[in-house]
Chains A and B, each alone.
Chain A
C-alpha cells in the first residue's frame, strides 16, 4: 500500500471503503527519510536520540574532567573546543555552557523526544492493533520539527559566543539580558527558537498518540485491556500536550524581552553601573511558567520508562502484572499531581511560605502512587519464574533506581529541608538517579526488549550484560557519593571547588566520580556499537514471538511492513497479562477465551 492511499484511508476512518489495487512505489526517500510509517519514524527518533545522547554524555565527561582535577590541562581539549579550552584548560564560561547544554540535551532531546518519540511511535499502533497512527502525516511532521529543533540547537554550539549557558532552566535575568554573559547572546535566542520547534514537534506527536490510543484500537481492545506501556504513553502524551504550551508562552515572552524591549521578566536592573530601562516585570513569573512545564516534564520522562518496565517485568517473570488497575490508577494520580507540584522547585525563590506548605503536601502525596507502583513491581517479581534477559535486568535496575532516587525526593519535597539542600549536589544526585538514570534504564530495557521487533535481529547478549552491570554499578558509584557532598553544602554549577576549605575534603571523591563517569560513558559507547553492529550483523530473529509475550506486536510478522499485519488485524479477547494461567505459560491477547477458562 502506498503512503498516499494509507493517508487517504486514515482520513476515511470508520468508512469501510474498499481500496483495490495498491502500488508499491516506495523510493529510498519515502521509505527511510520522509516516511509516514510509524515504525520508521520511531527509528528516526531513536537514532537522533542516540546521537544527542552521545553529545550530551560527552559534555558531562568534559565537565567531570574539570571537576575531577581542576588544575589539569588536556591538550586534546583545545583541539576539540578551540578557544573554549585555551591551553587545554576548560574556560569557566564554557563550563556553564556545557552543563546547560548537557541538561537541555538530555532532558528534552534524549529523554523526551528520544524516549517517548521512539516508543510511543513504535509501540502504540503495534500494541493496540492499528495499521499506523491516526495521522501519519502529522506524525512525520512531528519528527521533522524535532529534526529542525535539533539542527538549530546543534548550530548554537558553533556560534562565536557559544551556546546558552544560564542553566537548562534559563532563568531570567541571565537569559533575558544579552549583556549578562556570553551564553546569553545569540546562543540563547537559538535555544528559545529551537525549543519552540521542539514544542511543536511534541504537540504533533502527542495529539497523534492520544487520538490513536482513543480511537484506533482493534476490536476487543478495550481501554482496560491495553498493555501498561500504552497507558503510560497515553498519560505521557496528555502531560506533554497540556504542559509544553505553557513553556511556549514563557519562551515567547522571553524572546520579546530579549528582542522587542518589553519587560515581562525584568525589573530595575543595573548592569555594569548602567540602569536598564526595564521595570515592572517579575523574574519569578518566568520560574512559574517554566516549572509548570518543568515538573510535568519529569513525568513525561519517567512514565514511559515505568510503562515499559511494567511490561518487561511481567513478561520476564512469567507472571501477570500485580495490580493492573492500581497501576493505571497510580499513573493517573501521578499525571494529575504532576500539574500541582511545580512550585516545589521554587521554595527558596521568594515563595509565600504558606503556599510552600501546600506544595509540600501535594509533592509528598506523589509518594503514594509511586509506592503503589514499586509495591506492584516487586510483587510481580515475587516468586516469578524470572528470565534474566538484558531487558529484564534493566527493568529491575529501573525499579532499584526509582526507589533510591524516590526516597531522596521525600527529603527535597520538604520546604524546610530544601533551604539547606536546594542547589546542592544532593539535588543533582536525586534527579539524576530518579529520572535521569532510571529513565535511561527504562529506555535501555525497551531497546533490548523490542530490538528484535524493530530490526529483526538480536543485540549481542554478552555486550548487553557488560553494559548493564557496569552501568548500574557505575550509576550508583557516581551519584551515591553526591548525596554526601550535597548534605555538606557543596553547591551545584560551580566551576572549581578547590578554593573552598570546606570542600577540599571532597577532592579525592570528585576525582573518583569523574573516573567512574568516564568508564560508564565508555560502556555506553559499547552499547551504541552493539546497537549499530547488530542492525546488520546481529543474530537473526527466527520466531515471531521470541520473548513468549502476550501483546499484539508479537503477532505481526518478524519484520512487519507498513500496515503491520498482512491480513486482518487480530481481534483481542483478553488482557495482555495472562501468564502462568490454567497450566499454560502464556496466552496471547488474540487467543479466544476458552469455555472452561478461569478468570484472571
Chain B
C-alpha cells in the first residue's frame, strides 16, 4: 500500500460543524462518562433490588459510626461526611484549575491540580481506613446458638436483627449481600478515584513541563476535570445509597 502524501497545511477537519460544538476529545469523554454511568447504574440498581428484597438491612448509623483516633465514640456518619467533604472540595479545586487553564495561567493550574491530587489521595486514604475498620471490626454475633466475633466482609455481615440471648441484646447474621455490594461498589468507585488521581498526576506533570502552554490550550486539564467531577457525582449517589438510605 502506498502512503498518501498529504500536502502542507491540510486541515484535518475542513468543515462541517460538530452538533455539540465541542472538540472530539470532549465528545469522547462525555460518551465515556455516559457509558460509565451505565456501569455504576447497573451496580446501584442491582444493589437496590437485592436490598429491598430482603427483610432486614444494616442501619448505616450503626455501621458507620467510627472515627479515627476517637476510640469507641458514637459518631454516626461523621467520618463519611468528612470524606464527602474532601472529595467535593477536590472538585472545587479542579474547577479552579480548569479556570486557571482558561486564563493560560500555568502556575495557577499547577497549584490547584496539586490540591486536587492531594484531595483525591486523602479521600482514598479515608476509604482505606474505613475498609480496614469494617473488615477488622469485632462484633459479637449469635450464630447457631454460639457467640462468634465477626468483622464486616464480603461474605460476613454482623449487622443482622438483634435478639435476646442470656438477657442481652445480640446481633444475628445479616444478609451477606450487604458486604458484597458495599465493598464491591465503593471499591469500584475507589478504583475510579484512583484512576482519576493517576490522570491528574499526569496532567500535573504535563502542566509543569509546559506541554499545554506549547499547545496553546489546557483542554486536557478540562477533560480530566470532566472525569473528576463525574467520579464525585457518582460518590454522591453511592453516599446516598449506602450511608443515607
Contact = CB atoms under 8 A, between A and B. Distances in A.
Contact of A13 (B8, B24, B184): B24
Contacts of A214: 18-20, 24, 27
Interface stretch (A280-288, A320-328, A429-437, A586-594): A280-288
A246 B39 contact: yes
Given A210-B27, A285-B46, A1 B5 contact: yes
A24 interface: yes
A203 B28 contact: no
Interface in B27-65: 27-28, 31-32, 34-36, 38-43, 46, 49-50, 53-54
A211 B31 contact: yes
B13 A215 contact: yes
B161 to A, nearest CB: 14
Given A16-B11, A216-B13, A1 B6 contact: yes
B184 A245 contact: no
A10 interface: yes
A292 interface: yes
Nearest to B5: A566
B4 A566 contact: yes
A285 B27 contact: no
A215 B50 contact: no
B176 A262 contact: yes
A18 B3 contact: no
A569 interface: yes
Candidate in B15, B20, B23, B215 with the most chain A CB atoms within 10 angstroms: B15
Interface-centre pick from B14, B28, B40 (highest chain A CB count, 10 A): B14
Contact of B16 (A211, A221, A280, A557): A221
Given A280-B176, A566-B6, A250 B42 contact: yes
A24 B3 contact: yes
A467 interface: no
Contact of B39 (A10, A215, A248): A248
A30 B115 CA distance: 40
A134 B176 contact: no
Interface string B153-194: 011000000000000000000011101110010001000000
Contacts of B71: none
A282 B53 contact: yes
A275 interface: no
Nearest to B39: A245
Contact of B35 (A14, A22, A203, A250): A203
Contacts of A203: 32, 35
A241 B38 CA distance: 9
Contacts of B34: 241-242
B58 to A, nearest CB: 13
Interface in B190-236: 215-216
Q: Which of B3, B7, B23, B179 has the most CB of A within 10 A?
A: B3
Contacts of B70: none
B50 A281 contact: yes
Given A130-B13, A285-B46, A263 B4 contact: no
B10 interface: yes
Interface string A551-566: 0000001011111111
Contacts of B19: 214, 223
A560 B4 contact: yes
Nearest to B156: A261
Nearest to A249: B42
B3 A561 contact: yes
B2 interface: yes
B4 A14 contact: no
Interface string A120-131: 000000000011
Contacts of B175: 279-280
A501 interface: no
A13 B36 contact: no
A250 to B, nearest CB: 7
Interface string B52-93: 011000000000000000000000000000000000000000
B215 A12 contact: yes
A169 interface: no
A253 B42 CA distance: 10
A13 B4 contact: no
B9 interface: yes
A26 interface: yes
Contacts of A206: 31, 35
Interface in A512-562: 557, 559-562
B32 A242 contact: no
Interface in B92-109: none
Contacts of A289: 42, 46
A264 B1 contact: no
B3 A219 contact: no
A417 B184 CA distance: 39
Contact of A218 (B16, B27, B42): B16
Contacts of B5: 1, 22, 561, 563, 566
A564 to B, nearest CB: 7
A216 B181 CA distance: 41
Interface in A282-332: 282, 285, 289, 292
Contacts of A217: 13, 15-16
A329 to B, nearest CB: 17
A19 B4 CA distance: 15
Contacts of B50: 264, 280-282, 285
B188 A252 contact: yes
Nearest to B10: A568
A103 B102 CA distance: 51
Contacts of B20: 214
23 contacts: A1-B3, A1-B6, A9-B12, A12-B215, A130-B13, A207-B28, A212-B24, A215-B23, A216-B13, A218-B13, A220-B15, A220-B16, A246-B42, A249-B39, A249-B40, A252-B188, A253-B46, A261-B155, A292-B42, A561-B5, A562-B3, A566-B4, A567-B10
Interface of A: 1, 9-16, 18-20, 22, 24, 26, 31, 130-131, 134-135, 203, 206-208, 210-212, 214-223, 241-246, 248-250, 252-253, 256, 260-264, 277-282, 285, 289, 292, 557, 559-569, 571
Interface of B: 1-16, 18-20, 23-25, 27-28, 31-32, 34-36, 38-43, 46, 49-50, 53-54, 154-155, 175-177, 179-181, 184, 188, 215-216
Given A19-B9, A210-B27, 19 more contacts: A22-B6, A130-B13, A134-B25, A207-B32, A211-B24, A217-B13, A220-B16, A241-B35, A249-B40, A249-B43, A253-B46, A261-B155, A262-B155, A277-B155, A282-B49, A559-B1, A562-B4, A568-B10, A568-B14
Which 9 pairs, one residue from A and one from B, show the smallest C-beta to C-beta distance? A219-B15, A561-B4, A262-B180, A249-B42, A245-B39, A217-B16, A261-B155, A215-B24, A561-B3
